[in-house]
């Protein structure tokens, strides 16, 4: 059964979408309700599997590049996930309704490392792969889910295309703990890292200053809310000026949640959420009206699995 959010759930989501570490008291003050009310509503959304949590990390600052492998396969999601979980470098698995029914996202620090990772995996799954296409994701713009929360877009985060930052062992340990245990208190995580709480806080601050740790992102479970997820592959008369113009245009569309600069067959990609197919057609018509695209190819996303 599709779950519904009321106006108070949405107000709370608008406050914690990119900072689930914000105190419930602060959220309560912003929406003018009690702390107990906010705590109850957040716990209910967690229990209903509507929200989960994940730090937004720019892995390019750690020296990684994202490689995307678009495949047509005979495997289903459960079978494919079983193989992918054996590789610590597989970050995302996206299932689509298209003939090319899955996208794998792999993280590697060089072309050579990617080749080794991919060929090791491909050797196992190749009997089930009908086609494959490999591309790079250079830069991804992460935008608020404004169509759902109706909250003004006053923030964005960009991952990719950053210079590698040097990190030490304890910084990497803190990052690992924040990723693996996103909702555990920092006091508890500091004990696990065998460091003082104040030291832990300073390391988190340093990771932010290095543009490694960008935000504490609340992930909205689209399947539970029956939100439709589409990707648009956009072709246009390419120049850097035109590319930037299209990016700014897409940012103003409240349904657009990701914009990707990529080496794939198109000039830009964007992902958007809508409540229905009918709403999507209206959004698509609006995008077409506002810019003379050469071509727009539509793909509907089915499910996503974060693997690392």
For the stretch 57-113, pLDDT in tens is 999 999 999 999 999 999 999 999 888 887 778 888 899 988 889 999 999 999 999
Average pLDDT, the chain: 93
Question: Mean pLDDT throughout 289-299?
Answer: 96
pLDDT at residue 86, rounded to an integer: 77
Torsion of CA 180, 186, 192, 195, to 10 degrees: 130
pLDDT at residue 1, rounded to an integer: 59
Question: Is 303's pLDDT higher than 80?
Answer: yes
* CA–CA distances in Å: residue 78 to residues 46, 81, 305: 24, 5, 10
Give the separation between CA 143 and CA 18, rounded to whole angstroms. Answer: 10
Percent of residues, the chain, with pLDDT higher than 90: 85
User: Do residues 95 and 77 make contact, with C-beta atoms less than 8 angstroms apart?
Assistant: yes
Question: Is 253's pLDDT higher than 70?
Answer: yes
Question: Mean pLDDT throughout 230-254?
Answer: 96
pLDDT at residue 85, rounded to an integer: 81
Query: Of the ranges 88-102, 198-212, 217-231, 232-246, which one carries the lowest mean pLDDT score?
Result: 88-102
- The band of 252, judged by pLDDT with boundaries at 50, 70 and 90, is very high
Identify which of 23, 76, 45, 75 has the alpha carbon closest to the alpha carbon of residue 186: 23
For the stretch 97-149, pLDDT in tens is 888 899 999 999 999 999 999 999 999 999 999 999 999 999 999 999 998 88
Is this prediction's pTM over 0.75?
yes
- Structural domains for the chain: 7-55 (1.10.10.10), 166-210 (1.10.10)
pLDDT at residue 20, rounded to an integer: 97
pLDDT at residue 154, rounded to an integer: 83
Give the separation between CA 251 and CA 60, rounded to whole angstroms. Answer: 22
- The band of 308, judged by pLDDT with boundaries at 50, 70 and 90, is low
Give the separation between CA 211 and CA 162, rounded to whole angstroms. Answer: 9
For the stretch 185-206, pLDDT in tens is 999 999 999 999 999 999 999 9
Question: Mean pLDDT throughout 259-272?
Answer: 94
pLDDT at residue 88, rounded to an integer: 75
- The band of 33, judged by pLDDT with boundaries at 50, 70 and 90, is very high
Question: Is 158's pLDDT higher than 70?
Answer: yes
pLDDT at residue 149, rounded to an integer: 84
């Amino acid at each position: 059964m599709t779950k519904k959010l009321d106006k108070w759930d949405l107000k709370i989501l608008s406050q914690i979408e990119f900072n689930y570490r914000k105190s419930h008291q602060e959220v309560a003050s912003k929406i003018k309700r009690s702390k107990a009310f906010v705590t109850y509503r957040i716990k209910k959304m967690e229990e209903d599997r509507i929200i989960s949590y994940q730090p937004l990390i720019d892995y390019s600052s750690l020296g990684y590049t994202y490689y995307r492998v678009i495949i047509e396969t005979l495997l289903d999601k459960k079978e494919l996930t079983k193989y992918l979980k054996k590789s610590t470098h597989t970050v995302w698995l996206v299932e689509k309704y298209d003939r090319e029914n899955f996208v794998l996202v792999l993280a590697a620090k060089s072309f050579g490392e990617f080749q080794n990772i991919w060929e090791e995996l491909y050797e196992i799954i190749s009997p089930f792969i009908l086609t494959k296409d490999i591309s790079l994701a250079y830069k991804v713009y992460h935008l608020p889910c404004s169509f759902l929360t109706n909250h003004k877009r006053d923030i964005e985060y960009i991952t990719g295309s950053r210079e590698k930052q040097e990190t030490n062992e304890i910084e990497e340990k803190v990052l690992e703990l924040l990723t693996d245990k996103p909702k555990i208190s920092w006091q508890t995580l500091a004990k696990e890292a065998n460091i003082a709480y104040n030291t832990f806080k300073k390391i988190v601050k340093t990771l932010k200053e290095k543009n490694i740790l960008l935000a504490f992102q609340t992930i909205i479970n689209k399947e539970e809310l029956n939100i439709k997820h589409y990707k648009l592959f956009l072709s246009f008369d390419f120049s850097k000026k035109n590319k930037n113009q299209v990016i700014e245009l897409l940012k103003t569309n409240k349904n657009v949640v990701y914009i990707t600069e990529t080496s794939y067959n198109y000039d830009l990609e964007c992902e958007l959420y809508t409540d229905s197919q009918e709403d999507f057609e209206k959004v698509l018509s609006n995008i077409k009206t506002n810019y003379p695209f050469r071509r727009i190819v539509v793909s509907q996303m089915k499910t996503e699995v974060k693997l690392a």
